[in-house]
């Protein structure tokens, strides 16, 4: 087991708990869908948080794949994954009452959830910039599109968290989901362009030696 595998066995477990909280919360809604007012806002928020959790799984590979073992990284992973767990547990209500509106729940919890997600993203973005600057890789690793994407994500998430106008909050959340969809689409396009992968051999044989 190398340093990354050891770190990710801990970090991935904690992120997995957050994903399980979201799936469990959505399942509770489905079980009681006839007794509550489902709405669209809470499910939209849940999708946003879920995709961001998956993004952090990807970022762990990109940023920490070659990192040496460090207790500090374990603590950082605990802190970041803990923030996501707080966001995931608040996305859906723990107890559902007959006639309860999920849109009302969204408005009561969206600030904490979105600010938690934003905080986690800014922590990882700061780590990425500090590490690449220290190793002299900043210019090669930090592309303009990456900075624009981070700026867009930061502004829209902050707007969705603190804006008072319902229309503004919904518009910001819709654009954030569209932004995530765009990045997913780019990943799909890149995968198709490579022609897929072999089911009988590793994608990079040299990496498995």
Could you give the CA distance from residue 28 to residue 122 in angstroms, rounded to a whole number?
31
Residue 99 CB-density burial (10 A; 0-12 exposed, 13-18 middle, 19+ buried): exposed
**Interior CA angle at 109 toward 105 and 111, to 5°?**
140
What is the C-alpha to C-alpha distance for residues 201 and 205, in angstroms, rounded to an integer? 7
Q: What is the pTM of this model?
A: 0.89
Q: In Å, what is the CA distance from 111 to each residue of 26, 48, 157?
A: 19, 14, 10
By the 8 A CB rule, do 188 and 59 touch?
no
Residues 6+ apart with CB under 8 A from 203: 197
Q: How confident is the model at residue 206 (pLDDT cuts 50, 70, 90)?
A: low
Cα 126–Cα 128–Cα 129 angle in degrees, nearest 5: 65
pLDDT tens-digit readout, 27-53: 988 888 888 888 899 999 999 999 999
Distances, alpha carbon 27 to alpha carbons 24, 79, 132, in Å: 5, 27, 41
Q: Helical H runs in the chain?
A: 3-31, 41-64, 71-91, 102-134, 138-141, 144-162, 166-193
Provide the CB-side half-sphere exposure for 159 (13 A, CA): 18
Whole-number average pLDDT of the chain: 90
- Tens-digit pLDDT profile for residues 137-161: 888 888 888 889 999 999 999 999 9
Three-class SS state of 3: helix
The CA radius of gyration of the chain, in Å to the nearest whole number, is 19
């Amino acid at each position: 087991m190398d340093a990354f595998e050891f770190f990710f066995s801990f970090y991935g477990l904690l992120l997995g708990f957050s994903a399980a909280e979201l799936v469990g919360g959505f399942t509770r809604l489905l079980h009681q869908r006839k007794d509550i007012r489902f709405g669209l806002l809470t499910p939209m928020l849940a999708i946003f948080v879920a995709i961001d959790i998956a993004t952090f799984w990807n970022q762990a590979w990109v940023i920490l794949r070659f990192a040496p073992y460090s207790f500090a990284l374990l603590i950082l992973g605990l802190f970041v994954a803990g923030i996501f767990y707080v966001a995931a547990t608040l996305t859906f209500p723990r107890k559902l009452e007959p006639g309860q509106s999920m849109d009302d729940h969204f408005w009561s919890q969206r600030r904490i959830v979105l600010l938690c997600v934003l905080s986690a993203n800014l922590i990882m973005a700061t780590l990425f910039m500090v590490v690449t600057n220290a190793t002299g890789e900043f210019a090669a690793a930090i592309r303009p599109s990456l900075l624009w994407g981070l700026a867009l994500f930061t502004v829209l998430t902050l707007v969705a968290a603190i804006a008072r106008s319902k229309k503004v909050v919904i518009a910001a959340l819709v654009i954030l989901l569209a932004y995530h969809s765009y990045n997913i689409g780019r990943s799909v396009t890149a995968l198709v362009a490579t022609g897929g992968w072999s089911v009988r051999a590793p994608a990079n044989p040299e990496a498995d030696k």
